[in-house]
Structure 1
Amino acid sequence: MTSVEKLSYLLKKNKGFLKTSDAVSSGISRTVLGDFVRKNGLERVAHGLYMSQDAWEDNLFVIQVRYPESVFSHETALYLLNLANREPSPFSVTLRTGTNSARLSKEGIKVYKVKEALFDQGIIETISPSGHTVRTYNAERTICDLFRSRRNIEIQALQDAVKTYVHLRDKNIPLLMRYAKLFSVEKMVRQYLDVLL
């Protein structure tokens, strides 16, 4: 397979997106990549990320590539997990405490921070509406995040999310309660569940 064929394959495999890191790890030089980008009219959408003209835009994927340390959370996680009907605006991410978030905030992204010990709890990979893999928190962790951040969340969004969650076939109440204890929202979560279950 020639370098151009490899790049064409990567572009197709990633639904019209091409990462510099993928090209380099496939043994393709930056010069060849640059030529391919120019000849095919790819648009640079982020540092090290190009998009073909016929690709569907995927802001979630672009954010994930630009800020790989971030995890989609809160309302954005609800949307990715099909626990909310509409795309949130702005998007929400969680970072480790101490991580610089100035660029994300400047771009209008809502940033939450948690201590290191809680950051990795419940991270999963899911598929964005445009078909790309992104990192988000699972449903149980997301419900606890909403309770923790209830002053910054519409109460209706919280109530709807919990109602939708309790009707899921694959809900995991023991895991939800374990997270609720970890995030110090056990009492509130239990009150909601007592009413809904």
Structure 2
Amino acid sequence: MPDELQSILVQNGGTVTTAQANAVGISNERLRLLIKSGILERVSFGVYVLPNEFIDKMYIAQLQRSKIIYSHETALFLHDLTDRDPLNYSVTVPTGYNAARLRNDGFTVFTIKRELHGLGKMELTTMFGHTVATYSMERTICDCLRSRNQMDIAVVTNAVKRYSLRKDKNLNTLMRMAETFQVAKPLQNYLEVLL
């Protein structure tokens, strides 16, 4: 295996995209030969892993779709604001994004105005050590309150409770976000009970 490709695989936990390989001079034909010889496995369109490497579905989806931001139950999980492993990954995309393939792949998709899509965006590490885009705890709480009719109310209540106990919480940011997303009143109702 070429050293350049080996370097990318080490940096990305055993995963490489066609674009990353092409950028270091590895052609698509060479990738095809590496797959044929069993050195790499194709796990998705344009995404390859080393054999026996555990496939991090969150990371692979992020590699394929740079506009997705993990949100709602998935973001709660990444922030340790819930004990529930998400059955389907929840993502938020800007209005106008064609989410049909995401839904077909089992994702729960939320849309929001383009100007609000990046608000509160940050990066967190999946349980397999890969970095993915997600929303801050404060944005996630507001998203869950906005979508509370589509979510298990016990999950939302537990998330707000866990957030209120965190040392790294920022109530000022939370209140500003709540006003931006028009959930200040429901948030106050939750916080009055918990604080």
Q: What range is the shorter-chain TM-score in?
A: over 0.9
Pick from 4, 10, 13 the counterpart of residue 11 of structure 2.
13
User: Aligned partner of 1:78: which letter?
Assistant: L
Partners of 1:139 and 1:190 lie apart in 2 by 16
| Alignment counterpart, residue 173 of structure 1, candidates 171, 178, 184 | 171
- Within 1, Cα distance between the matches of 2:75 and 2:25? 35
Is residue 188 of structure 1 aligned with residue 181 of structure 2? no
* Distance of 2:66 and 2:94 partners within structure 1: 12
Instruction: After TM superposition, give the deviation of residue 61 of structure 1 in Å.
Output: 0.8
Secondary structure of the 1:28 match is: coil
Tell me the equivalent position of 1:86.
84
RMSD over aligned CA atoms reads 1.4
Which residue identity is paired with 2:163? Y
| Percent identity (aligned) | 40
- Give structure 1 stretches of 5+ with no counterpart: none
The aligned residue for residue 104 of structure 1 is 102
- Compute the displacement of 1:77 (Å): 0.4
TM-superposed CA distance for 1:66, in Å, is 2.0
Alpha-carbon deviations, 1:9-52, whole Å to 9, x = none?
21122111111111122233333333333334322112211011
- Which TM-score applies when normalising by structure 2? 0.95
- Measured after TM superposition, the shift of residue 179 of structure 1 is 0.5
2:155 is matched with 157
Per mean C-alpha deviation after superposition, the further-off stretch among 94-103 and 42-51 is 42-51
Instruction: Provide Cα deviations, 1:131-178, integer angstroms capped at 9, x if missing partner.
Output: 111100010000000000011100000000001101111101000011
SS in 2 for 1:189: helix
Per the alignment, in what secondary structure is the counterpart of residue 2 of structure 2? helix
Are the structure 2 counterparts of residues 38 and 7 from structure 1 closer, same or farther at C-alpha, using a change threshold of 3 Å? Answer: farther
Structure 2 residue 49 is the aligned partner of structure 1 residue 51: yes
For 1:89, the aligned partner's letter is L
Q: Out of 48, 67, 70, which is 1:69 matched to?
A: 67
Q: Give yes or no for contact 1:4–1:36 (8 Å, CA) kept in 2.
A: no
Cα offset, 1:59, TM superposition: 1.0
Partner Cα distance (2:10, 2:136) in 1: 29
Distance, in Å, in 1 between the alignment partners of 2:8 and 2:179 is 43
State the Cα distance separating 1:86 from its structure 2 match.
Answer: 2.8
For the 8 Å contact 1:16–1:54, the answer to whether it is kept is no
Distance 1:27 1:179 in 2: 45
1:13/1:38 CA distance change after superposition, 3 Å: farther
Q: How many Å separate the matches in 2 of 1:37 and 1:106?
A: 26
In 2, the alpha carbon distance for the partners of 1:28 and 1:90 equals: 34
Deviation at 1:82, TM superposition (A): 1.3
**Stretches of structure 2 lacking an aligned partner (at least 5 in a row):** none
AA aligned to 1:132 is H
- How far residue 89 of structure 1 moved from its aligned partner, in angstroms, is 0.9
Runs of 4 or more consecutive aligned structure 1 residues displaced over 6 Å after TM superposition: none
